[in-house]
Structure 1
Amino acid sequence: MTPADAMGHAVAAVAAGLRKDREGLGVLLNMTPDDAVDVAGGMVDLVGTLARIVGDREDRTPTEAITAAAAGRSDLVQKMASFAIGVINSDPTRSTTVDASDVIVGLGALAGRLAEQVAEYEGESPLELLGRIGTGVAELEAFEPPE
C-alpha cells in the first residue's frame, strides 16, 4: 500500500466514523496486519495535517492543537494523541510501541475532532472537508512523476 493509499483509507475511516457508518468501518476489520500498519501511518499523517491547519488558524503549534483536541477524551484517544505528537516531533521518548488498531481508532477519533474544527474555519461540513482531502490524496496517487 502506498502512503497515498494509506492516507486515503484513513480519510475514508474518519468519514465513516463521522457518518456512524458501521459497514464502512467494518472494512477496517478485514484488513491484513500489514495494511492496518499502513493505514495507522496514514492516520498519523492525517492527524498531523489537520493539526497544522488548526494550529495555523489558532496561532498554536500542531502539538498544542492535538493536545487540545484530545483533552477530555478517552484514555485511548489521549494515549494515541501522545503517540502522534511523538511521531510528528520525532521524539523517540514519546513514541512507544502501539497496536495499529489502537492507532486507527484513537487517532480516527482525534482526526474527526480536528476535522470538525477545520471545517468550521472553512465554512463547510467535516464530511465536505474530508472529501476535499480525499480528492487531493487521489490526485497525488494518480500523479506519476516524470522519469
Structure 2
Amino acid sequence: MGQAVASVAAGLRKDRDALSILLRMTPDEAVAVAGGMLDLVNLLAKIVAEREGGTAAEMIEATAAGRSDVIQRMAAFAIEVINSGGELPTSVDAAEVIVGLGAIAGRLTEVAAEQEGGTPLDVLARIGLGVAQMEAFEPPE
C-alpha cells in the first residue's frame, strides 16, 4: 500500500516526475500497486464512513457519482472485490485500476482531510507512517 499512498500524494501535489514512475513499472509492480490502491481506497472509505455514519461502499459510490465512466466502473469493481474478500483478481487491468482507484483515493483523502480539519497530505502521511510501521514488523518471507 506504500506505493499507492505515494502515488496518490504525487497526484495531489501534481508532481509529474513522481507520477512518471508509474509509467516505468513492470507488470508485476503495477499489479502490486493496484492491490495497494484497492487497500487504500478501502481504508479511506472506512475512515470517511465512520465519520459520516455510512458504509465504505456508500462512500466509494458517492465519490464516483457523476465522474467518468472509468472512475464509476472502478468504484463498482472496488466494492465488488472488497465485498468478496478483498483479493485482486489476477486478470485485472492494473493501469485502469491504478488510474480509477487513484482518483477515488484522492477524493476520499480530500474528504477525510475536510472532516479532520487538516490537509490531504497530512492524511496520507499518517497512513503512510502506519504502513511503514506495519511493514517494519512483518516477518521476512
Contact 1:70-1:81 at 8 Å conserved across structures: yes
Q: How many pairs align?
A: 136
For residues 42 and 28 of structure 1, what CA distance do their matches in structure 2 show?
Answer: 13
Query: Superposition pairs for residues 57-96 of structure 1, below 5 Å?
Result: 57-90=51-84
- Offset, 1:54: 1.0
| 1:119 is aligned to 2:113 | yes
For residues 123 and 102 of structure 2, what CA distance do their matches in structure 1 show?
Answer: 15
Give per-residue Cα distances to partners, 1:39-58, cap 9 Å, x unaligned.
10000000000001111111
Report the residue type matching 2:15 in the other structure: D
For residues 68 and 104 of structure 1, what CA distance do their matches in structure 2 show?
Answer: 19
For residues 78 and 98 of structure 1, what CA distance do their matches in structure 2 show?
Answer: 16
Describe the shift of the 1:144–1:100 C-alpha distance in structure 2 as closer, same or farther (beyond 3 A): closer
Paired residue for 1:128? 122
Alpha-carbon RMSD across the aligned residues, in angstroms, is 1.6
Stretches of structure 1 lacking an aligned partner (at least 5 in a row): 1-6
Report the residue type matching 2:34 in the other structure: A
Please point out which of 3, 9, 25 is paired with 1:9: 3
Stretches of structure 2 lacking an aligned partner (at least 5 in a row): none
Describe the shift of the 1:97–1:82 C-alpha distance in structure 2 as closer, same or farther (beyond 3 A): farther
- Offset, 1:97: 4.8
Contact 1:83-1:96 at 8 Å conserved across structures: no
TM-score (norm. length: structure 1)? 0.88
Please point out which of 25, 28, 46 is paired with 1:52: 46
Moved over 4 A (4+): none
Paired residue for 1:3? none
Paired residue for 2:133? 139
Please point out which of 30, 34, 54 is paired with 1:36: 30
Report the residue type matching 1:55 in the other structure: A
- Offset, 1:123: 1.4
Please point out which of 91, 102, 108 is paired with 1:108: 102
